[in-house]
Structures are given as structure tokens and as C-alpha cells.
């Protein structure tokens, strides 16, 4: 099970969370967000992360989260910061994602492209499928009419039982160490994205909660092999 810890703002926390076994760190590149972090600070954090195989940071995904940002600005941020993944959390169309995919491939063909959608009903689920042949991952987050993410709200997990796009999909919204096992059991996602559920305050991670979250995911996956989804081929 892929685990992304989002809303990273501090170097010491980034290093500690990577050492705990997270697959990805997420950095919010949206100035209006309380978890916003500048491109230069992201670059400083990334350049300070150990790259040795012994510390298992080599395959760490470093994902910038963008909201209705131009493709040119996203590509500039990727090149100047060292990010190797892009998460789109706004109103980006499938056509925009397709154009961005081509531009990212010219920078680094291994750049992971994720499209996040705030889902409140089955119409939203059908819309999510429109992206599944274009992006690497579809991320489903809880709907809020005013806040794009990090709300602490959860989707109706029952609604996601049969969700099966052509690409991998990750679950976000309202996850915590206490409920993640239930979330996995009800939805069987390929990955999990958590932010507010493992925080002391916005952008300040509670490392004990992060550790318990990761441990509970691994314990759940180890005890229930039926939850292990095969990776979709693109």
C-alpha cells in the first residue's frame, strides 16, 4: 500500500517521515494554503535529504501540490525544486492534464502525475474516470465547497467499494491512525494520502501519529492479503 504524507513544511520532519517508510512526501505549492511552502524552501529540503540506498530515500516520491496553476509555472517549479511528482488539486481538465503530461515528459519522463478530485456523489466518481487514461494516479478527496484539501473530512467510503479506474487510485480525506484500517477494508485503494489526520497544527506533523498511521497500514495489509491491489499498467 502506497503511503503519501502531505503538507510537509519542515526538513527534520521530512527526514523522519521518510525514514519511517512513507513512499511520498507532499509539498503544498498553493500560496493561500496554511501549509504553503515556497519553491526555494522545497528545494532546500529536497537537497538536504540523504540519497544513500542505505536510508531508502532513493525511490522517495517528492510531490508538489498545485491548484489551477499554469503548466509553465508547474514545470518551472519542478525544474527549480527537484520535485519528481505533480498533484493537481483544482479544476484542471483532462485536456490540461494531457498537455502537462507531455511537458513534464520533456523534463523527466518519470515524473508522477496525480489528479485529485473532490467527490461528493457518484457523478464525481464518473468524472474521475475521465482522467484515468491520462494520469498515473487519480486521488479521491472529500468535497468541500470552499476548501480544496486538508479539510479533515472523509468521503462516503461505502460509495467507493466498486470504484475501479484504469489507473491506480489513492484515498484521501479524513484519514487518521484510528480509522485507516477501516478505510482500507471498505475501499481497497492502491494508496493513501494523509495530512491533517497526522498533524499538531497545519504544516506541523505529529511524528507519533505519522508512525502509528504507517504502522497501522502495514499491519492491516499484512493481516489481510485480500486488500493488496495489483498495480495497474498504463
Give the rounded distance of the alpha carbon of 174 from its chain centre.
14
User: For the chain, how far is it from start to end, CA to CA, in angstroms?
Assistant: 18
Q: Is 141 one of the annotated active-site residues of the chain? A: yes
Burial of 181 (0-12, 13-18, 19+ CB in 10 A): middle
CA angle 49, 11, 88 (to 5 degrees): 85
Sequence-ordered alpha helix ranges (H) in the chain? 11-20, 39-48, 71-81, 94-107, 122-129, 180-187, 207-223
For residue 105, how many C-alpha atoms fall within 13 Å in the half-sphere facing its CB?
9
C-alpha cell at 107: 523534463
The active-site residue, picked from 61, 141, 168, 193, is 141
Give the rounded distance of the alpha carbon of 41 from its chain centre.
19
Q: Is 167 one of the annotated active-site residues of the chain? A: no
Tell me which residues are annotated as active site.
Answer: 6, 141
Amino acid at each position: 500500500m502506497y503511503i503519501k504524507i502531505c503538507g510537509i513544511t519542515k526538513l527534520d520532519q521530512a527526514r523522519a517521515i521518510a525514514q519511517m517508510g512513507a513512499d511520498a512526501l507532499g509539498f503544498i505549492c498553493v500560496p493561500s494554503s496554511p501549509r504553503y511552502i515556497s519553491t526555494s524552501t522545497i528545494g532546500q529540503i529536497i537537497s538536504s535529504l540523504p540519497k544513500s540506498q542505505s536510508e531508502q530515500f532513493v525511490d522517495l516520491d517528492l510531490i508538489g501540490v498545485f491548484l489551477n496553476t499554469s503548466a509553465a509555472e508547474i514545470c518551472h517549479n519542478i525544474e527549480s525544486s527537484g520535485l519528481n511528482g505533480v498533484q493537481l488539486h483544482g479544476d484542471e481538465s483532462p485536456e490540461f492534464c494531457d498537455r502537462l503530461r507531455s511537458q513534464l515528459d520533456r523534463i523527466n519522463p518519470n515524473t508522477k502525475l496525480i489528479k485529485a478530485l473532490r467527490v461528493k456523489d457518484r457523478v464525481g466518481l464518473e468524472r474521475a474516470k475521465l482522467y484515468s487514461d491520462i494520469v498515473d494516479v487519480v486521488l479521491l478527496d472529500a468535497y468541500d465547497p470552499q476548501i480544496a484539501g486538508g479539510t479533515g473530512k472523509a468521503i462516503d467510503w461505502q460509495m467507493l467499494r466498486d470504484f475501479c479506474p484504469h489507473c491506480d487510485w489513492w484515498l484521501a480525506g479524513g484519514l487518521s491512525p484510528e480509522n485507516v484500517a477501516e478505510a482500507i477494508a471498505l475501499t481497497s485503494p492502491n494508496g493513501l494520502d494523509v495530512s491533517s489526520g497526522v498533524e499538531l497544527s497545519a504544516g506541523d506533523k505529529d511524528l507519533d501519529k505519522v508512525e502509528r498511521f504507517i504502522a497501522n497500514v502495514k499491519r492491516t495489509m499484512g493481516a489481510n492479503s485480500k486488500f493488496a491491489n495489483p498495480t495497474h499498467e498504463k
